[in-house]
């Protein structure tokens, strides 16, 4: 009997896999694996919002047009696997207010199944963001606070993007298991594709979607052939490859596609922000805005230190803050960019780009600005949309 080729599932219900112990491995080998294989970053095709779709044990199957079809043909078996008694539609499920993983996301960038094998420690820190929203900056901040006694530590070598599908999950898990200091882990997943641990602290940073798009365009337009090779050609990719951006593609062309097609060719921006906004009141979650880091970095860093219960060493404070300024990171870009910037034309200096907001103001028309703002309210609600645009919590929200 011929072997049936499995369908390329892009998002599916998540059976939490049993933990296992991979062989010993170093973080440095993770970096070498990426450089040797020429692997790539960027993320998934369009996903439906859990609040729009809910979940009835639905599998989303990628087809060549990059749209999706749904399948519930194994619903009964899935119910047995998950021990669920009802097939009714549900939104973001919580038990005792703890978020529950709803789905797996896999694509040219993502492999969310790695979190099923992750063994949390009580002092772990998970940095959550959408791409180009301040991820590397926040990694630098948290790493500098954790390693105040060792300021020469390379944070990027120690803080993996766990749900990136390269290097293989066993390499990343082994590297994390080998760390003896406090661990700092990065994710770009929405909350409903993430395993949640009450003993782990989560720090989420967000940025106005227009600023994200402008920064993401720079990231994409300068990606080199090695980046595309890693993302698209490394075995195990689920779904279509990330398309190569034409070099004459301007930022507005990129923005229009990204905003109208729910994050294409990467992944959903609204999904990421909305699901994290839904857990903002969890006791182990801290919310930051890119504007907080821009306007008063020392104050923001002290708040992060307090949340993570890290004593500030005052005699080292000025140098700790200096190492987290954008100017310092730009000057030392090779140490701050993932893999030293190996996957971008221009190297690390391209990845650590401008760190500025508002570049869209010179390009977007008044009508386009209005359309974005209306869409943000539609997708996120007024309170979240206001915070995302300004970094400010409304009085009604702050009273909650």
pLDDT tens for each residue of 366-385: 999 999 999 999 999 999 99
Provide the percentage of residues in the chain whose pLDDT is more than 90: 61
What's the pLDDT score for residue 160? 95
What's the pLDDT score for residue 347? 53
Question: Per the structure block, which two tokens stand in for 75?
Answer: 């619903």
How many Cβ atoms are within 10 Å of 396's Cβ, its own excluded?
9
Contact between 341 and 334 under an 8 Å Cβ cutoff? The reply is: yes
Q: What's the mean pLDDT in 270-280?
A: 98
97 DSSP 8-state letter: T
Question: Per the structure block, which two tokens stand in for 11?
Answer: 């998002």
Q: Which of 110, 14, 11, 108 is nearest to 69 (CA)?
A: 11
What's the pLDDT score for residue 152? 86
Q: Which of 57-61, 106-110, 381-385 has the lowest mean pLDDT?
A: 57-61
344 DSSP 8-state letter: B
Q: Which of 45-49, 160-164, 179-183, 308-312 has the lowest mean pLDDT?
A: 45-49
> Residue with structure tokens 């893999």?
339
Does the bond joining 328 to the residue before it have cis omega, within 30 degrees of 0? no
What is d(CA 138, CA 287) in angstroms, rounded to the nearest whole number? 12
Contact between 348 and 341 under an 8 Å Cβ cutoff? The reply is: yes
Longest dimension (CA), the chain: 71
What's the pLDDT score for residue 85? 23
What's the pLDDT score for residue 307? 99
Buried b (16+ CB within 10 A) or exposed e, 24-54: ebebeebbebbeebbbbbbbbbbbbbbeebb
Beta partners for 55? Answer: 90
What is d(CA 397, CA 400) in angstroms, rounded to the nearest whole number? 5
What's the pLDDT score for residue 87? 26
β-pairing verdict for 59-62 and 125-128: unpaired
Q: Which of 35-44, 48-57, 244-253, 310-319 has the lowest mean pLDDT?
A: 48-57
Burial class for 66, CB neighbours closer than 10 Å (0-12, 13-18, 19+): middle
How many Cβ atoms are within 10 Å of 64's Cβ, its own excluded?
6
Reply yes or no on whether the pLDDT at 67 is more than 70.
no
What's the pLDDT score for residue 253? 97
88 DSSP 8-state letter: -
Q: Which of 161-175, 178-192, 343-357 has the lowest mean pLDDT?
A: 343-357
For residue range 144-157, list pLDDT tens digits in order. 999 999 988 888 88
What is d(CA 264, CA 69) in angstroms, rounded to the nearest whole number? 17
How many Cβ atoms are within 10 Å of 369's Cβ, its own excluded?
13
3-state secondary structure 124-174: CEEEECCCCCCHHHHHHHHHHHHCCCCCCCCHHHHCCECCECCCCHHHHHH
What's the pLDDT score for residue 70? 27
CA quadruple 132, 133, 134, 136: dihedral, nearest 10: -30
Confidence band for 328, pLDDT divided at 50, 70 and 90: confident
What's the pLDDT score for residue 326? 85
Q: How far is CA 345 from the centre of its chain?
A: 23
pTM for the full predicted model: 0.76
391 DSSP 8-state letter: S
The domains of the chain are located at 9-364
One of 3.90.330.10, 2.60.40.10, 3.40.228.10, 3.40.50.300 is the CATH number of 9-364, namely 3.40.50.300
Beta partners for 90? Answer: 55
Question: Per the structure block, which two tokens stand in for 343?
Answer: 């996957």
Angle, CA of 212, 207 and 140, to the nearest 5°: 95
Reduce the DSSP state of residue 247 to 3 states and report it.
coil
β-pairing verdict for 98-99 and 184-187: unpaired
Q: Which of 28-32, 39-43, 281-285 has the lowest mean pLDDT?
A: 39-43
Q: What's the mean pLDDT in 67-78?
A: 31
């Amino acid at each position: 009997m011929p072997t049936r080729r499995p369908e390329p599932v892009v998002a599916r219900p998540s059976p939490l896999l049993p933990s296992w112990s991979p062989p010993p491995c170093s973080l440095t080998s993770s970096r070498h694996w990426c450089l040797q294989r020429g692997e790539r970053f960027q993320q998934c095709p369009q996903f439906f919002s859990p609040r729009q779709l809910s979940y009835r044990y639905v599998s989303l199957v990628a087809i060549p047009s990059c749209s999706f079809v749904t399948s519930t043909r194994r619903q009964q078996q899935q119910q047995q696997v998950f021990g669920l008694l009802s097939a009714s539609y549900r939104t973001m499920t919580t038990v005792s207010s703890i978020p529950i993983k709803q789905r797996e996301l896999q694509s040219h960038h993502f492999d969310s199944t790695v979190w099923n094998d992750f063994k949390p420690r009580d002092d772990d820190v998970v940095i959550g963001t959408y791409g180009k929203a301040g991820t590397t900056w926040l990694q630098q901040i948290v790493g500098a606070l954790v390693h105040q006694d060792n300021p020469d530590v390379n944070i990027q070598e120690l803080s993996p993007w766990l749900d990136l599908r390269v290097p293989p999950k066993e390499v990343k898990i082994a590297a994390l298991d080998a760390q003896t200091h406090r661990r700092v882990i990065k994710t770009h997943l929405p909350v409903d594709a993430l395993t949640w641990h009450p003993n782990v602290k989560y720090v989420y940073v967000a940025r106005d979607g227009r600023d994200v798009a402008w920064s993401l365009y720079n990231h994409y337009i300068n990606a080199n052939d090695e980046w595309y090779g890693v993302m698209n050609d490394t075995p195990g990719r689920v779904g279509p490859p990330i398309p190569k951006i034409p070099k004459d593609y301007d930022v507005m062309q990129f923005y229009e596609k990204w905003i109208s097609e729910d994050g294409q060719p990467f992944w959903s921006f609204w999904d990421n922000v909305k699901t994290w906004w839904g857990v903002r009141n969890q006791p182990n979650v801290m919310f930051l805005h890119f504007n907080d880091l821009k306007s008063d970095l020392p104050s923001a860093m002290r708040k992060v230190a307090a949340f993570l219960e890290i004593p500030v060493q005052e005699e080292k404070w000025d140098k700790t803050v200096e190492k987290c300024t954008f100017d310092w990171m730009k000057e030392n870009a090779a140490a701050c960019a993932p893999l030293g910037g190996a996957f971008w034309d221009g190297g690390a200096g391209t990845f650590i780009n401008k760190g500025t907001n508002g570049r869209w103001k010179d390009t977007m028309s008044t009508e386009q600005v209005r359309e974005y703002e209306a869409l943000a309210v539609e997708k996120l609600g007024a309170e979240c949309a206001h915070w995302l645009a300004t970094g400010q919590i409304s009085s009604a929200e702050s009273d909650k």
